[in-house]
Structure 1
């Protein structure tokens, strides 16, 4: 009888110790999980003023293990685990910034950025090949003219080629140095001035040339050469010197008794004829333009010349950002010119991006491949200039959650303390 009682006490002690140790294990997992929540909440609170920061939340899940408290073969939950959930798709409030080159996205897109991996001998940054994505659009120019945000990431876009003036098709860091050259504006009008010889010094069938440098939309120069030919004392023809047929960009100009232009009958390269008082339409290379002849009069010598309306010089004064993603160089002559275009990148699951330092992310297999879009297309979103996107931290809500997590942590600590007392009592039963 005594042996039976001893065996029963042994089983009671074994069961009690197993249950107590299991309770300690559960409480410790609770402590770890609440510590995880503390980390997430403190990170949110610390970054409540961080531009482009996306607040995260903590998700808890129970773990079921094989334990002796199970009834009828059913296992019970005896631990908890915590995981961080990203919310990169949450829109932050857009607020005005004192930084004129700051940009804020309203939508699903991200800026394409890269990091510097070092510096060259002339202190130019050496940019890495790893592609990053961010919502921190607080960009400003560094000493080399690159657009860099407050986390040190370099903004990428499609740059305009300095030689050809055309927009590139591959991403590269946007740089607008102070030494950037002004590209002449596109010519839209050619203006002829001077005199044509109405005397016998210039016989019928002869005349003179006038030339001007015209520029296309990329700033590329071309020479326009027009030839004047005398028909009679009051009538001249003017035509494109490079047209051997004599039917393209030609006009018959009639002068009145005072020597001023009275009418212009022209024919362009499309075969269209028109009559004007002082001008005719020039079509072809480098582009279609208007040729004004009002400044030409009859005189005693051929001194006619021609100029275009292109602005050919300007000094760089700064940059401006457009809501369509345009980065413009501004000049002291009042003109601005496109130097780069900013696209936005979207992902099928932005919450699966891998978070990096400085409010940046990298793509993962779960996030899907990056899709590069023009601003305001395919859900990429719109841009607001001179503005930033604020942190999505709910400071009041997170402080409340912090109190709840603190209470839960304290409760789990109490469980460990109580389990320790029970364990000491159980051990005393063995002695």
Structure 2
């Protein structure tokens, strides 16, 4: 190598170290920059030609590598829109609202809202013009996410379903959806006093997204069955004066098994004829279809004293739960020459209803809409479709039914299945509400949003409800350090980068999200100052070498003189 060729190595050293110092300066300048990934300069030897153990002009060159795969420091934030990535993965960004722009990838979770198209809405009866709002990063690029599925719980996971996330207050005001499924968890006390009754209230959405409330009333009295046939076995006094009444009472049961006391008033109207009236309190009940429906003429055989007609009458009470029953008169008789004046002999009375009573491990359930009981047990075919018997096993676990269908009757009211598998019957003294969940969507205005560790964006609505509305994906790469950095601390795929894989947080090598936090740079100040000192010394040594070779060249030059 000639003397002049020896300048190449120190010159190359100074150029390479200058480049390294530039990189160090950039790292230090971005110490607190969100999503910045530090760069590192590595060096390699340049040799033009070798022969034997000799080589000609050579030197050193620097190559810069961005350490994209290294985690940056996480800082807390007061903004609900800020979210950091802890671990592998990148936010998916797009330059266009329709998703057809350039796709970039970033780590800075300092997110905000950018205004979009104008929309018209109604507020307090007035039509106003406002703007759509979408989640963007600090560069104004749209942050892509998955919208929640129709079940309001799950999300798609494919890249094709990603879309910009709209979060202005009017986003969901025309997006109401009726509740179709709900689940409840509560405990009805096994140690409550007889006739204990308590209610819990559940919320649903109708087809327009308006809130609808239903009342669930629990009673530890198990209903009986209504009287269908009542048969008095009585003897009427033949010698009773005409026009004089004699009365006796019977006990029947309405369709809930509650007692109904009725008075049967017999008035002798002639030889072997009586007028029968059935009274509920002071109210005479209809028992006939002629001009005097509140009484019926009963005739007896003058020889045997047995009844001739009618064999029975139909009786309907005045209460809400009363059912029509048959009053069987076939066992009524008028013994000839028998009873003393005024005496009615009650030989016996039977009826086929059953009384409501407390039953271990059983409760009665009613569902009311605006105070009106709904049919929830029509399939049983009994006379009380608005009341269902809930049965528990000996360990206080629900036995049946595990679910019921509730269909509202108001305009637009939902029809939904209520899962009751988490209803129990332990000793608690009073009803204990544990959980309630339901699907559907409200039409309320969106008040604000927040994130959870899974990357789900939770919408907080004006009606005090919350639900997931979007989910952030994470794009992962086999070789993230090969991504090309561009302005704004985002990256694009280079020719050497593997295809991105879209994953959910926490799955298959992807990191987790940290709500109310943001990631700043991965620059370590101590490391940078150490590298600065070493770079400065290397540069100085290169310049000293250059100066020495220059002096040597001057000596060689002067030898010719």
Do both proteins adopt the same fold according to a TM-score greater than 0.5, normalized to the shorter chain?
A: yes
What are the Cα deviations for residues 109-146 of structure 1, in whole angstroms up to 9, with x where unaligned? 11101235xxxxxxxx6866211111111112234422
Aligned length: 335
- 1:151 corresponds to: 139
- 2:268 corresponds to: none
Tell me by how many angstroms 1:66 deviates: 2.2
Residue segments in structure 1 that go unaligned for 5+ positions in a row: 1-17, 117-124, 190-212, 222-231, 236-252, 292-307
CA distance in 2, matches of 1:41, 1:108: 25
Q: Is the 8 A contact 1:158 1:171 kept in 2?
A: yes
Decide which of 400, 418, 422 is 2:552's aligned counterpart: 422
Does residue 289 (structure 1) correspond to residue 418 (structure 2)? The answer is yes
Over 3 Å counting, the alpha-carbon distance change for 1:309 and 1:167 in structure 2 is: closer
Tell me by how many angstroms 1:36 deviates: 1.2
Over 3 Å counting, the alpha-carbon distance change for 1:179 and 1:214 in structure 2 is: closer
Tell me by how many angstroms 1:412 deviates: 1.4
Does residue 48 (structure 1) correspond to residue 14 (structure 2)? The answer is no
Tell me by how many angstroms 1:159 deviates: 2.6
Does residue 342 (structure 1) correspond to residue 472 (structure 2)? The answer is yes
Q: Is the 8 A contact 1:62 1:77 kept in 2?
A: no
Over 3 Å counting, the alpha-carbon distance change for 1:126 and 1:276 in structure 2 is: closer
CA distance in 2, matches of 1:385, 1:41: 31
Tell me by how many angstroms 1:426 deviates: 2.0
Decide which of 22, 25, 36 is 2:8's aligned counterpart: 25
Tell me by how many angstroms 1:424 deviates: 2.5
CA distance in 2, matches of 1:275, 1:49: 65
- SS of 2:2's partner is helix
- 1:121 corresponds to: none
- 1:207 corresponds to: none
Q: Is the 8 A contact 2:114 2:140 kept in 1?
A: no
The correspondence of residues 388-399 of structure 1 with structure 2, limited to 5 A, is: 388-399=518-529
CA distance in 2, matches of 1:288, 1:370: 42
Over 3 Å counting, the alpha-carbon distance change for 1:310 and 1:347 in structure 2 is: closer
- SS of 1:98's partner is coil
- 2:112 corresponds to: 140
- 2:445 corresponds to: 315
Does residue 266 (structure 1) correspond to residue 377 (structure 2)? The answer is yes
Q: Is the 8 A contact 1:86 1:351 kept in 2?
A: yes
Q: TM-score, normalised by structure 1?
A: 0.66
Compare the two structures and name the one with the higher helix fraction.
1
Q: Is the 8 A contact 2:6 2:57 kept in 1?
A: no
Q: TM-score, normalised by structure 2?
A: 0.52
Over 3 Å counting, the alpha-carbon distance change for 1:317 and 1:371 in structure 2 is: same
What are the Cα deviations for residues 204-242 of structure 1, in whole angstroms up to 9, with x where unaligned? xxxxxxxxx9658x9699xxxxxxxxxx9989xxxxxxx
- SS of 1:138's partner is coil
Decide which of 389, 396, 409 is 1:276's aligned counterpart: 389
CA distance in 1, matches of 2:227, 2:170: 51
CA distance in 2, matches of 1:133, 1:55: 16
CA distance in 2, matches of 1:184, 1:126: 25
Compare the two structures and name the one with the higher strand fraction.
2
Decide which of 456, 465, 480 is 1:326's aligned counterpart: 456
Over 3 Å counting, the alpha-carbon distance change for 1:94 and 1:185 in structure 2 is: farther
Does residue 172 (structure 1) correspond to residue 163 (structure 2)? The answer is yes
- SS of 1:79's partner is strand
- 2:292 corresponds to: none
Decide which of 39, 57, 62 is 1:82's aligned counterpart: 62
Tell me by how many angstroms 1:350 deviates: 0.8
Give the RMSD, CA atoms, in angstroms. 4.1
Give 1 or 2 for the bigger CA radius of gyration: 2
Q: Is the 8 A contact 1:268 1:281 kept in 2?
A: no
- SS of 2:527's partner is helix
What are the Cα deviations for residues 354-389 of structure 1, in whole angstroms up to 9, with x where unaligned? 111111111234321100001110111111100011
Tell me by how many angstroms 1:37 deviates: 0.3
- SS of 1:24's partner is helix
